[in-house]
Structure 1
Amino acid sequence: MMSTVLSAKNRSGEQGLRPKQLRRQGNIPAVVYGSKVDSTPVYISSADFAKTIKEVGRNGIISLDIDGAKQDVIMTDYQRDTINNEILHADFLAIDKSSKVNVDVNVVLVGEAAGVKDGGVLQQPLFTVSITSTPENIPSALEVDVTNLQVNETLTVADLNTEGKYEINHEEDEVVVSILPPKVEEEIDTGEQQDGGAPDNEEGRETEPSDASEKEE
């Protein structure tokens, strides 16, 4: 993954710059944390942040320039305003490119399943998977081709392709996606519905260093 520079300013000593004020000025309050760095409150330009994420991707490595001192980071979490969709706060994990981290990555289904065309019902119980990887090998998402999936067939974690670049922290027989027969759809319609739907935050992922201490605001 490519790394790009994002400027940030330390807000530890700033007086009167509360989060609401920062946001009104077009900035995003954030925190940088990690096992080998002190937790540091910072703020970044909303416009620069949007440009950076568009350039390197949601899981990309960012060179965060905090008042002239650069630190490689990845964004681990963020808070978004549900009304205007603006980013309210971001968390950045300071990383060493050679050290492994634990990451939750989205699972994206590709293609139209043959079983669905035959009247089956697609169920996806696993929307994200936890992986362990060096930062440069973190995929933006895991794509699963369901084109040939028939009724009563399933794809499990064992079917996910890691390309040898990362380890998936799930049991191999955990179901990722399945095609239920049409009669199950009738049961669902009568109220016997299984839990499903999309995750609360499709873009987000929780990330933590393998041996990092908890971050502090």
Structure 2
Amino acid sequence: MSVTLKAIKRPDHTRSTTRKLRESGQVPAVVYGKEKESKSIAVDSIELIKTVRDEGRNAVISLDIADDSSVDVMLHDYQLDAIKDELVHADFYVVNMSEEMDVAVTVRLEGEPQGVKDGGVLQQALYEVQVRATPNNIPDEITIDVSSLDTGDSLTVADIPKAANYEILDDPESTLVTILTPTTDDDVEGIDNEDEEPELVGEAQTERNAD
């Protein structure tokens, strides 16, 4: 089920009008899609942030545009003001609810691996995977239980539990997470010794003869 977000048309693209929109709490945005005419709109900044926070990055949004028809969209991209940390622009992509699409989905690790308890180091290689699904079946995130992993163990994309309503597109052999072997004092000493310059046989023999 999609969540509703109200929007207004934005016919005037001048800098002064755009600035006033932002000052009033609105975010300039564009709606576009496959074989769809692009539309310039504006949405409430706080409402957009709340929607994404509550519903997830891949949520389907019913965009209720004033004096126009509603349209199902997903937030495709957004821009932030690095100094003010405020939204300055958003892109919405019109979706076909019966048509599959490819999107990036966050991978979240759950649990404390046994290998980490024993001193190992968890290294996550992939933080997102590409998923193909219809809009309503796109997961907000994919959770992987890593609590049983021991030192030296790893998980690949192939270890992600299969789902009937979406397909993972990444290479099945791509590593998701690895528990690295802990570094011990002996390992560090061994590395230090390896860095020492070897004694030259000729020089050592000369020193002994001199003695």
Letter of the 2:155 counterpart: L
Are residue 178 (structure 1) and residue 175 (structure 2) matched? no
Look up the equivalent residue of 1:82 and give its one-letter code.
A
RCO comparison, higher one (Cα < 8 Å, 6+):
1
TM-score, length basis structure 1: 0.78
CA distance in 1, matches of 2:161, 2:184: 29
Cα distance in 2 for partners of 1:142, 1:22 equals 37
Q: Secondary structure at the match of 1:69?
A: coil
Q: Which residue number in structure 2 is paired with residue 102 of structure 1? A: 102
The 5 A counterparts of 1:27-66 are: 27-66=26-65
Residue by residue, what CA displacement relative to the aligned partner does 1:32-61 show, whole Å, maximum 9, x if unpaired? 111021122211011322333344332211
Partner of 1:201: none
The answer to whether the 8 Å contact 1:3/1:56 transfers is no
Task: Please give the alpha-carbon distance, in whole angstroms, between the structure 2 residues aligned to 1:173 and 1:184.
Answer: 30
Deviations 1:46-83 (A, max 9, x none): 13223333443322111101223100001112122334
In the TM superposition, 1:1-217 aligns within 5 A as 2-13=1-12, 18-67=17-66, 68-183=68-183
Matched AA of 2:131: I
Please give the root-mean-square deviation of Cα atoms over the aligned residues, in Å. Answer: 2.2
Q: Write the distance in 2 (CA, Å) between the matches of 1:24 and 1:162.
A: 47
Q: Give the stretch that moved more between structures: 155-164 or 143-152.
A: 155-164
Q: Cα offset for 1:159?
A: 0.9
Give the C-alpha shift of residue 122 in structure 1. 0.9
Cα drift, residue 96 of structure 1? 1.0
Unaligned runs of 5+ residues in structure 1 are 191-217
Against the structure 1 CA distance between its residues 184 and 172, is the aligned structure 2 distance closer, same or farther, given a 3 Å change threshold?
Answer: farther
Q: How many residues align?
A: 187
Residues 4 and 63 in structure 1, CA contact (< 8 A), matched pair in contact too? yes
When residues 16 and 83 of structure 1 are mapped into structure 2, their CA distance, relative to the original with a 3 A threshold, is closer
Deviations 1:77-100 (A, max 9, x none): 212233443222111110111111
The one-letter amino acid of 2:149's match is L
Equivalent-residue separation in structure 2 for 1:145 and 1:5 (angstroms): 33
Alpha carbons of 1:162 and 1:137: their partners in 2 closer, same or farther (altered >3 Å)?
farther
State TM-score, norm by structure 2. 0.81
For 1:46 and 1:19, the matched residues in 2 are separated by 13
- Residue 17 of structure 1: CA displacement? 5.2
For 1:153, the aligned partner's letter is D
Question: What's the offset of the Cα at 1:14?
Answer: 5.8
Identity %: 41
TM-superposed deviation, 1:183? 3.1
What's the CA shift string for 1:163-188, capped at 9, x where partnerless? 2211111111100000111139978x
Larger-gyration structure (1/2)? 2
Q: In the superposition, relative to structure 1, how do residues 59 and 184 fare at CA in structure 2: closer, same or farther (>3 Å)? A: farther
Say which SS state the counterpart of residue 115 (structure 1) adopts: helix
Counterpart code for 1:64: L
Q: State which drifts further: 37-46 or 8-17.
A: 8-17
